[in-house]
Structure 1
Amino acid sequence: MFKYYILMVVCVITATHTYAQYDLVIVGGNPGGIMAAIAAARSGKTAVILERTAHIGGLPANGLGATDIATRGATTGLFMEFLTRVKSHYVKKFGKASMQVKMCSDGYHFEPAVAELVFEQMLQEHGDRIKVLKMRQFDAEPQHVSITDGLIKRIQVTNRQTGALETYAGAVFIDATYEGDLGAAAGVPFRVGREAKKEFNEPGAGRIYKYWGGPEEAGSTGQGDNAVQAYNYRVCLTSEPGKQVAIEKPERYNRNEYLSLIGDVLTGRNTGVEMEKVTGQMLEDNRNIILKGGRSDIPGDKWGLAKLVNTVMLPNNKTDANNQHQAFISTDLPEENWPWPTSGWDWRDAFAQRLKNYTLGLFYFAQHDAELPESFRKEVLKWGLAKDEYTDNRNFPRQVYVREGRRFEGLYFFTAKDALPVAPGKRPPLHTGSITSSHYALDSHGVRKREPGKVHLDGFLSYDTEVYTVPYGVIVPKVIRNLLLPVPVSGSHIGFSTLRMEPCWMAMGQASGVAAALAIEQKIAVQDVPLGALQDRLLEQGQTLIYYQDVPVSSPDFKMVQSMGLKGFLPGWKADLSLALDQQTASSWAQLSGLKLETIQGKSRGDMLRFLYHGMKKGNQ
């Protein structure tokens, strides 16, 4: 055991240097870092967020406005509070019956500026307990981290406005960067790239080619490599003429990069599974139809803007425009991003500019290149950049969508099996130390550019999962005793591919803030935080630890069902509290609880669960 000293905020500023102390020092102002700070503040702790850019909010504030979650209600807590505030913003500004409220889809869909506004408001409510410092850059070099006896004592960052070095000391440090820079500088072992299929026997592991929605195809070897799934920008577009900015030809425009789009548009070739039944003659016939002014007739093919990007409509007729998963060429830029996770910021900034030029060039090409059908160009020309977004960055997102950086090796290593049901209709493996439930597909974008004869880009995949539980160990390193990693979490490439969604990152950030507060209060290492106490506090904050279809957070039985579910009393998807208790279930529960049941006559499942819940709590006191 070792001692923590609860730190009051102390800040000393000289002409060349700043030194400050907080309970929590958080590197990264994305949603994971924001929720960590808020959760800690609600536990009475102080926190500083060190954000490299001039804006907080990460990807939700940079175009990812269509929330990635497969089962609404599976992830709650501060994430759900964020959604509620988003919806309230639209209700207050436009009225309950407005189209904006309808389009916000209960807060799950939002404009970039609204996401940033809501995050700012949530932070500001905690006054001096949370300090947000923007334009602070942490460089992943060991000399910027001071470690003694397995404890980080302080870190150094660069003030990008003044160039001065600043030092921040804390009781607990949190790496909320998409890249994992702090953990790497602290010497925590990590992985980059793809594991071979043989290592964990995961679907989609290693080198793989498959139609979108189809089975694995020729060339899928399962071989591991250093390939990193592609990044892009989530572009905010609008078709309203008075509210858009025309897309201009970017600097260093290279028409040759986009030429393959011409053939894809004319033939209708795409990467969807429907292409298995498409013949060469069908492609040629389609070309003739389009050259005569028609539209594509190939199954699964898209037209106009949809051929370039997958769009989800947001309030005020804006889009979250993401890479089109049924296209060989879209806004992803595979291969060129591979060095990003372990490179310095000079390289990253250069790639970010390269990706911006490439993205704008793709749209410009689709709108203006004379070799594309005029009817196609006219459809794409209807769209432009939303002129009221990113007004300090020429209406273009300020942040690259870093889908995957370093993945650390923590106390628990999350793989595909943790998200896949143990049998049809059943749950994935239950983690009794769960810090959140979550749900999204095993989902990775391509890692290589188009290859001749391949049905899709290498690594572009999606496999369905079921709502799963996330163990505390995925955010906890094995060695550093006061570091938590809620964003660059512990997992394989395939396992990480479902954890990497912002709702889950928010929930893991919230858990890290609560765990940090408990570690400080009890003067223990983050590895020794008692899971029961952590879970109790998360439940008090409305976090769902195990998902039940019929017991939402608003239910008076929510905490009881969560607790008993994690103990194995409720293995199904429903608690069915109102149903009569049968003898087989009663016997099973009695054995699990170690308590004697006098009678079950006239008892509902809910009645007996409540009795056992309180009896077990009393026995543990």
Structure 2
Amino acid sequence: MRKIGLLITVLLCPALFSLGTAPVYKADVIIYGGTAAAIVAAVQVHNMGRSVIVVSPDKHIGGLSSGGLGFTDTGNKSVIGGLARDFYHRVWLHYQQPAAWNWQKPAEYGNKGQGTPAMDGAARTMWIFEPHVAEQVMEDYVRENNIRIYREEWLNREQGVTKKNGKIQAITTLSGHTYSGKMFIDATYEGDLMAAAGVSYTVGREANATYGETWNGVQTGVLHHGHYFKQPISPYRIAGDATSGLLPRVSGEDPGEKGAADHKIQAYCFRMCLTDNPANRVPFPRPAGYDATQYELLGRVLDSGWNEVFNKFDLIPNHKTDVNNHGPFSTDNIGMNYDYPEGSYARRKEIIQEHETYQQGLLYFLANDPRVPAAIQSRMKTWGLSADEFTDNKNWPHQLYIREARRMKGVFVMTEQTVLGKSVVPQSIGMGSYTLDAHNAQRYVKKDGFVQNEGDIGVDIKAPYQVAYGAILPQQQECSNLLVPVCLSASHIAYGSIRMEPVFMILGQSAATAAVLAITTNKAVQEVDYEKLKAQLLKDQQHLEAGK
């Protein structure tokens, strides 16, 4: 009877090819990652009639889109097409239901977005939303398309990629499960599959001289966005006494020569969903290991008269916020993420926990420390975590904002010139439109003995720009059946514009389309006929050039 039962299981589950203790699952396309780009890519493969498996290291899908970033970085929304636009349309449909407004009437919501109304009735899209709504849309995609998804499956980064003749044959996770496919897509924020497959990449900032750029490399003295110290603030434990040692979260290292390369990366943070609705509010917890001295520098900033604590409490529906970094000492945990891109899973977990402790401590400090001005503290006490968000994680976001990690060195490198429209982009597969936007990479002591942040860049672009097909392709000799739509080939500062969730979804769909065409024509991804790719993308309502 056991043999008959086992035979029935195999017949019912044709993707399971091993009868041993280490299962092997097979599909035409294997997608590694649980981001919005990963789910959109899976839907596109399914829509084109091919089998697909999503191997997600995450339990929750949707990445930052469902992890707290509800105040969408749209840029020019007219160039957001395809399944990305469908996502925001589905969000709009959700908020057409009266039941969606359980804490607030629609008319009470301010309808403010980033350069666009939050709810665009004419286009039937909504760009501002609660985290759980985005996650539900992602889960709907999985359910409606019968996407096979294996969650909390972590790639074995040391021995988990099997290659033959420059092609990935299969990937194996730490659980021992193996996933075999014809094409692979790395849709993670970290680029772990790309790196494990032997594809070239970089971490950190290139020198301006590398690609003839202006805004790459070390940017000492460049003060954008207001995320810098506007008043002279001493970085020493005893103000003005250099012999007393530095305060926490200030580097004693030389910041480097302006325009020079380094291995520093822009800061990470959690995008927090807070509420001022008492019926849905959870008081800010005092995190384990809380140390008020970690926020001494913030105390001095407040003493100087700075009063912009609430400037990035961006409103989303139902009396909630998407809170982002703002000011010289805020939610960005500057300089504490350098190990993350290349770190082991254990080291990354430590970094994520340190960011959580830091950010929860920051909230607790502002709401409870006696040195915080009374007006700020009393207002802070009206806010708390949203009880109906991230319910299985103590109402804390499940996704750290990995603004940048590895970046592939691919067939084509997107640079400042391509984003600013100063050079031609070949073979467009989608468009971006956000400003050149990088967060601070370090906090250092200037020669005059005062503290300053470095690395925050905000440069407007004049028009939407195209993203090249070659930017998601590895060099063919390194791997001929892998596409990388998230950790794509771009300079640090170009990536600062490209790294927006709508663009990742756009590129995820385009990568999936190319993967299917490569299978259909039995070609390397680098040899896909671009005209056929373009035709399919246009058919699927991707925007490949402005106005079209």
Q: Report the TM range for the smaller structure's normalisation.
A: 0.7 to 0.9
Question: How far apart are the structure 1 equivalents of 2:108 and 2:226?
Answer: 36
Post-superposition shift, 1:463? 0.8
In structure 2, the CA distance between the partners of 1:101 and 1:543, relative to structure 1 (3 Å rule), is farther
Aligned to 1:274: none
Deviations along 1:370-393, whole A, 9 cap, x unmatched?
Answer: 112222210111110000000000
In structure 2, the CA distance between the partners of 1:147 and 1:13, relative to structure 1 (3 Å rule), is closer
**Richer in helix (by share):** 1
Match of 2:289 among 242, 252, 258: 252
The letter of the residue matching 1:528 is: E
Deviations along 1:219-271, whole A, 9 cap, x unmatched?
Answer: 861111010111110000011111110001101111111011122112235xx
Aligned to 1:321: 323
Deviations along 1:195-227, whole A, 9 cap, x unmatched?
Answer: 111212222211113222599999861111010
In structure 2, the CA distance between the partners of 1:546 and 1:350, relative to structure 1 (3 Å rule), is same
Which secondary structure does the structure 1 equivalent of 2:458 belong to?
A: strand
Q: Does 1:81 align with 2:77?
A: no
Match of 1:154 among 158, 170, 173: 170
Maintained 8 Å contact 1:90/1:101: no
Question: How far apart are the structure 1 equivalents of 2:32 and 2:400?
Answer: 17
Aligned to 1:470: 467
Deviations along 1:420-439, whole A, 9 cap, x unmatched?
Answer: 133xxxxxx44341001110
Match of 1:202 among 213, 220, 239: 213
Post-superposition shift, 1:95? 8.0
Which secondary structure does the structure 2 equivalent of 1:256 belong to?
A: helix
In structure 2, the CA distance between the partners of 1:448 and 1:12, relative to structure 1 (3 Å rule), is same
The letter of the residue matching 2:277 is: E
The letter of the residue matching 1:181 is: D
Deviations along 1:439-478, whole A, 9 cap, x unmatched?
Answer: 0111111111253556851111111112101110000001
Match of 2:269 among 232, 256, 269: 232
Question: How far apart are the structure 1 equivalents of 2:225 and 2:512?
Answer: 38
Maintained 8 Å contact 1:19/1:167: yes
Post-superposition shift, 1:187? 0.4
Post-superposition shift, 1:100? 7.8
Maintained 8 Å contact 1:51/1:134: yes
Match of 1:16 among 5, 21, 27: 21
Aligned to 1:311: 313
Maintained 8 Å contact 1:436/1:543: yes
Post-superposition shift, 1:94? 4.3
Which secondary structure does the structure 2 equivalent of 1:340 belong to?
A: coil
Maintained 8 Å contact 1:71/1:467: yes
Higher mean Cα deviation, 186-195 or 89-98? 89-98
Maintained 8 Å contact 1:436/1:544: yes
Which secondary structure does the structure 2 equivalent of 1:312 belong to?
A: strand
- The residue correspondences of 1:101-500 to structure 2 (distance < 5 A) are 103=111, 104-106=118-120, 107-127=126-146, 130-141=147-158, 143-158=159-174, 164-209=175-220, 210-213=222-225, 221-269=258-306, 301-302=307-308, 304-306=309-311, 310-324=312-326, 327-422=327-422, 429-452=423-446, 456-465=452-461, 466-479=463-476, 480-500=479-499
The letter of the residue matching 2:316 is: L
In structure 2, the CA distance between the partners of 1:90 and 1:100, relative to structure 1 (3 Å rule), is farther
Maintained 8 Å contact 2:226/2:328: no
Maintained 8 Å contact 1:91/1:101: no
Q: Does 1:67 align with 2:67?
A: no
Aligned to 1:557: none
Aligned to 2:106: 98
In structure 2, the CA distance between the partners of 1:247 and 1:15, relative to structure 1 (3 Å rule), is farther
Which secondary structure does the structure 2 equivalent of 1:358 belong to?
A: helix
Question: How far apart are the structure 1 equivalents of 2:74 and 2:194?
Answer: 27
Higher mean Cα deviation, 508-517 or 491-500? 491-500
Question: How far apart are the structure 1 equivalents of 2:150 and 2:269?
Answer: 26
Post-superposition shift, 1:505? 0.6
Maintained 8 Å contact 1:25/1:172: yes
Post-superposition shift, 1:102? 6.5
Q: Unaligned stretches of 5+ in structure 2?
A: 1-12, 112-117, 121-125, 230-254
Post-superposition shift, 1:123? 2.3
Aligned to 1:525: 524
In structure 2, the CA distance between the partners of 1:213 and 1:394, relative to structure 1 (3 Å rule), is closer
Post-superposition shift, 1:139? 3.4
Which secondary structure does the structure 2 equivalent of 1:91 belong to?
A: coil
Which secondary structure does the structure 2 equivalent of 1:26 belong to?
A: strand
TM-score, structure 1 as length reference: 0.76
Post-superposition shift, 1:23? 0.6
Question: How far apart are the structure 2 equivalents of 1:95 and 1:321?
Answer: 21
Maintained 8 Å contact 1:207/1:459: yes
Identity of aligned residues (%): 35
Q: Which runs of 4+ in 1 moved over 6 A?
A: 214-220
The letter of the residue matching 1:323 is: N
Maintained 8 Å contact 1:51/1:132: yes
Question: How far apart are the structure 2 equivalents of 1:502 and 1:457?
Answer: 26
Q: Unaligned stretches of 5+ in structure 1?
A: 1-7, 159-163, 270-300, 423-428, 549-561, 563-621
Higher mean Cα deviation, 356-365 or 95-104? 95-104
Question: How far apart are the structure 1 equivalents of 2:100 and 2:502?
Answer: 26
Maintained 8 Å contact 2:68/2:130: yes
Deviations along 1:264-313, whole A, 9 cap, x unmatched?
Answer: 112235xxxxxxxxxxxxxxxxxxxxxxxxxxxxxxx51x433xxx2211
The letter of the residue matching 2:164 is: T
The letter of the residue matching 2:71 is: A
Which secondary structure does the structure 2 equivalent of 1:421 belong to?
A: coil
TM-score, structure 2 as length reference: 0.86
